[in-house]
Amino acid sequence: MTRFPSDFIWGAACAAYQCEGAWNEDGKGPSIWDDFCHALGEPRVKNGDTGDTACDCYHRVEEDVALMKAHNLKAYRFSISWPRVIPDGDGEVNEAGLAYYDRLVDALLAAGIEPMPTLYHWDLPSALEARGGWRNRQIADWFARYAEIIARRFLGRVKRIMTINEAQCVVALGYGMGTLAPGLKLPDEELARIYHNVALAHSAAQRAIKAVSKDIQVGFVPCGEINFPQDDTPEACEAAYRATFALTHRWDFRFNIVLDSLMLHRYEDTAPAAVQKFAATIPASDWDLMEAPDFIGINIYNGTEVGLDGEPTPRTPGRPLTACKWPVTPRVMHYAPLFLYRRYGLPMFISENGLSCNDMIFLDGQVHDPKRIDFLHRYISELAKAIEEGAPVLGYLHWSFLDNFEWASGYDERFGLVYVDYPTQRRIPKDSAAWYAKVIETNGDCLN
Ligand code: GCO
């Protein structure tokens, strides 16, 4: 029995800084990630790794797209580097930067793969950070102008544009914990202000894109902690639903911290005092500026099981973990789409899901990754349940097609279906790549 809709979009995702390289070529301006990786002193990234070369995708468009085609991908979610297109963020446009994305988009279209750009996957132009970055409310104008430039350039070639990827990581990890660029540690009230600026920026960008064409579907990509129930009873599900959207624990890493602004125009009562204090200063006219996205992209890697009291259930000793020690919790893929649909009523993509494994080239010259296959089999099977129970999931975009630069973990973590031998840039499809190609070919039926 087919469990996925016939037009289900199977694909993969990546981000500019994590794979392009060419960090200072053809007029590209510096980004906060260039600065973060190049900062002198104590390395902020493991092993002192940088995205200077990464997977060299900037120079390998044809080879990489051919490999995607050979593995049946129907869509490729990539991000556009803002400073490649507008080196200082709001000034001159860099034609050579746009030309690179022309090549990528055209190669994808020629291969029958839908190009799905994300405008912001964390590489803010350094010149804008110097002006306050996401702390500055003006970012809504800077971002809207950039969005319009992209929408005009790719009009007729892209059907969907995602605005901001994982605002929760941008804010909580970049400006709160300081583990990602720009590496600041600001207090909660400031973080609440930054979240509000993110919501304003998404909305301004959405209006700018729609002014170019109403036909372009605009998406927003949140992330955060999702709670799933200890069993499938209605009481357990209700407790997990409530816990997922409560701001009592990790308020700054919950899906609803931005989505509520965009969709419901309010903050949860459970928000901590510092957030309530900021919320009280928001002028009513700001809520009129909020734009509900056409769809959301949800990035799901793991979740936390909770009991009837909404508290995490005791950890199982020796529970399964990925190479970067994230718990393997496939049931989150069943519940996250259902919970988000129940609260917001929007169609969605699984815009990222995958895992890091300690992949290596075996004696036979191949890369065998049975753990990845097992993990994906479990998660995708749970996704099928969510779809059967009514969650309007339009597609699944695996993170990632190629191994790539994993932010503060550098190159130690390998998330790809395709192994990258960094010294030679040779691509070696892992066993999971062939497995995923089969999943796509059978529209998921081979998992039944
Ligand atoms: C994101 C993610 C990716 C990561 C992936 C694995 O924000 O979209 O952080 O960039 O590489 O989630 O951690």
- The dihedral through the CA atoms of 284, 288, 289, 291 has a sign that is positive
Which atom of ligand 1 is nearest to 404's Cα? 11
CB of 299 shorter than 6 A to ligand 1: yes
pLDDT at 1 over 70: no
Contact between residue 361 and residue 419 where contact means Cβ atoms under 8 Å apart:
yes
Strand partners, 439: none
Residue whose CA is at the smallest distance from ligand 1 atom 13: 406
Choose among 302, 292, 306: nearest CA to 336: 302
Phi and psi, residue 309, nearest 5°: -90, 5
Length of the chain: 448
Strand partners, 397: 11
CB of 406 shorter than 6 A to ligand 1: yes
User: What's the average model confidence in pLDDT over 257-273?
Assistant: 96
Q: What is the largest CA-CA distance in the chain?
A: 64
Residue whose CA is at the smallest distance from ligand 1 atom 11: 406
Domain layout of the chain by residue ranges: 9-447
Pocket test residue of 406, 409, 411 for ligand 1, highest count of atoms within 8 A of CB = 406
CB of 403 shorter than 6 A to ligand 1: no
Question: Could you give the 3-state DSSP secondary structure of residue 433?
Answer: helix
Residue whose CA is at the smallest distance from ligand 1 atom 1: 166
CB of 78 shorter than 6 A to ligand 1: no
Residue whose CA is at the smallest distance from ligand 1 atom 2: 166
pLDDT at 386 over 80: yes
Residue with tokens 């357990």: 236
The fold of the 9-447 domain, in CATH, is TIM Barrel (3.20.20)
Per-residue pLDDT of 56-109, as tens digits, reads 999 999 999 999 999 999 999 999 999 999 999 999 999 999 999 999 999 999
Task: Give distance in angstroms: CA of 207 to centre of ligand 1.
Answer: 27
C-alpha torsion 65→58→96→139, nearest 10? 100
Which atom of ligand 1 is nearest to 223's Cα? 7
Contact between residue 308 and residue 361 where contact means Cβ atoms under 8 Å apart:
no
Q: How many CB atoms lie within 10 A of CB 248?
A: 12
Per-residue pLDDT of 169-200, as tens digits, reads 999 999 999 999 999 999 999 999 999 999 99
pLDDT at 352 over 90: yes
**Which of these is catalytic: 166, 291, 305, 406?**
166
Q: Element (H or E) spanning 306, and its range?
A: strand 304-306
Contact between residue 89 and residue 138 where contact means Cβ atoms under 8 Å apart:
no
Residue whose CA is at the smallest distance from ligand 1 atom 10: 15
The bridge status of strand 393-399 relative to strand 348-352 is parallel
Percent of the chain with pLDDT over 70: 100
pLDDT at 2 over 80: no
- Say if residue 281 is exposed, middle or buried (CB neighbours under 10 Å; 0-12, 13-18, 19+): exposed
Strands, E, within 196-300: which ranges? 217-221, 227-229, 295-299
C-alpha 92/C-alpha 148 separation (Å) is 14
Q: 430-433 long-range CB contacts below 8 Å, 24 or more apart?
A: 430/359, 430/366, 430/367, 430/368, 430/369, 430/372, 431/366, 431/367, 431/368, 431/369, 431/370, 431/372, 431/373, 432/369, 432/372, 432/373, 432/376, 433/71
Contact between residue 11 and residue 108 where contact means Cβ atoms under 8 Å apart:
no
Which atom of ligand 1 is nearest to 221's Cα? 8
Choose among 247, 223, 378: nearest CA to 300: 223
pLDDT at 40: 84
Task: Give distance in angstroms: CA of 419 to centre of ligand 1.
Answer: 17
pTM comes to 0.97
pLDDT at 133 over 70: yes
Q: Is 352 a catalytic residue?
A: yes
Which atom of ligand 1 is nearest to 399's Cα? 5
